[in-house]
Structure 1
Amino acid sequence: MMSEFKEFIAKGNVLDLAVGVIIGAAFGKIVTSLTDDLIMPVVGKIFGGLDFSSKYIVLSGDVAPGTPLDAARKAGANVLAYGSFITAVINFLIMAFVIFQIVRAANRAMPSAPAAPAGPTEVELLAEIRDSLKK
């Protein structure tokens, strides 16, 4: 079992996947910071100082209006934190767009596969069949 495990770990795909996960986690933090620290404040300013991350609806519990989201959760209120969800969706869209651009650039940078050799044309095949029938 250990030898199989060593063989599995030594494969290039596993190492590539591990590197991808680590880089992806770091990239996720960058995108989260981009969204939370740069994009959402601008969006909030456009909407008149609105802070999306603190927007929620109380589903159950006794929470005074205007209570911050963290305080409402600590007080035991069951909340629907739609502002956090909007921020997470924006994070996802940014990350998906950046990954799309990376894959697109990688596809352009990679040499295209050589074209398959061209086979005989329809006319050539028909001529060959005609000649075979003449014999």
Structure 2
Amino acid sequence: MIKEFQEFIAKGNVMDLAVGVIIGGAFGLIVKSLTDDIIMPIVGMIFGGLDFSNYFIPLSSEVTANSLDAAKEQGAVLAYGSFLTVVLNFLILAWIIFLMVKAVNKIRSEAEERLMAQEEEVAKEEPAAPPPADIALLTEIRDLLAKKAS
């Protein structure tokens, strides 16, 4: 069983997946910082200096705080500002991934076109291979019979 596990881990796909997960996690942190530290303050400024991260609805009459952290300590709250921030994070991340996939597909398409063009050039440069001896002989016989018939 240990040998099978070692073979599984040694496969390239597992390592590729691990690298992807690590890079994805780091990329998620970058997008979160972009959203929390750059985009949301600008959006808040546009809407009158509002801070979306502190938007919440108290679900208990005991909650009287003005900040989300203090309100969570007092009781249950519906933190819809945090949810809006997470949704915006997701949309930004999805848009960036879409652009990356689109760019990779374009690069692949261009590479395939170049490869096909190179193959066509090679095919044009190479003279047609002479037919095998039996085909050449049958072609001569056909041509001679056609001459006799006419």
| TM-score band, normalised by shorter chain | 0.7 to 0.9
User: What's 1:67 paired with?
Assistant: 66
Following superposition, which runs of at least 4 residues in structure 1 exceed 6 angstroms of deviation? none
Which residue of structure 2 lines up, in the alignment, with residue 57 of structure 1?
A: 57
Higher helix share: 2
TM-score (norm 2): 0.71
Pairwise CA distance, 1:107: 1.0
Offset, 1:61: 4.2
Distance 2:48 2:92 in 1: 23
Give the direction of change, closer, same or farther, for the CA distance of 1:61–1:3 in structure 2 (3 Å limit): farther
Structure 1 pair 3–61 and aligned structure 2 pair: CA distance change class (3 A): farther
Q: State the match for 1:82 in structure 2.
A: 80
Q: Quick check: 1:61–1:78 contact (8 Å CA) kept in 2?
A: no
Aligned residues: CA RMSD = 1.6
Question: When the two structures are superposed, what TM-score results if normalisation uses the length of structure 1?
Answer: 0.79
Larger Rg: 2
Aligned length: 113
Gaps (5+ residues) in structure 1? 116-135
Letter in 1 for 2:66: T
